[in-house]
Structure 1
Amino acid sequence: MRTRLRHLRHGSRMFTWRAEIHHVRGDADCHRCIRVRVWGSGKTGQALQADLLSLAWPAPWGACATDGSYPTSADVRALIMFALRAGWQPERRGGTFALTEMQHAEACTLTGFLLTDRLRTPHGADPTQRVIAAHNLRQRS
């Protein structure tokens, strides 16, 4: 399957991005996870990477196959703006700037997603518990 590259303009800069659908297992469930990669200076510039955990809940086991969550252009724009404030330098040659759960999750908020490290490492926080906690927080608000 061919990867679809999308374009997004922010100010005078054109960003290119793609999103790949994955899934991550939690202790009690399976969750849809989207890996977003963004380039602001072509493929040779520093890439931005964020792994987004879907907040679709409640969901039966295997919901990662049926969950239709996918980042919108507004979600990607929010990631870009947050990453630029956090030190991402798209014009820098090579490398990847990762938005991680450990460093950025508290400050980086998106409507339907949480940042997760579970896709990069199995030692990331349990996605099931994080999704439940996010839903409980929303219900109290």
Structure 2
Amino acid sequence: MAFDKEKVLALCNAFSENTLMQTLNIRYVDAGEDFLTATMPVNPSVHQPMGLLHGGASVALAESVGSAASMLYANHEKEEVRGIEISANHLRSKREGLVTATARIIHKGKTIHLWEIRITDEDDKLVCLCKLTNIILPKEQ
């Protein structure tokens, strides 16, 4: 079956309704067979007290895009995705604008997926570099 980018993006954005992703205004904007990209606006709703992008918001963006990317490889009728480990290096601060997170697969096993998620600003400068490990589990009946 051919990869359908528009269908993937519509699905990812639809399952984000009434979740943290909707609260943070995360939108899935690009997809390919080995990557998924989402954006998040940087404004006071994702700031820490110093007026900068909160590291937790960056991590939430990274885990959202990396977990959704793993779902692209899972059998939705029989399997579920769970994040089991995430690390983040916050490299640049940001006060306003838009950040873009792109998850790229590093390892795709039967039960473990390892993703690198790069969060960049509008000038493609690296804001945060994350690594996410997901486990693929059988759905509970």
The TM-score normalised by the length of structure 1 is: 0.35
Larger relative strand fraction: 2
The two structures have a TM-score, normalised by structure 2, of: 0.35
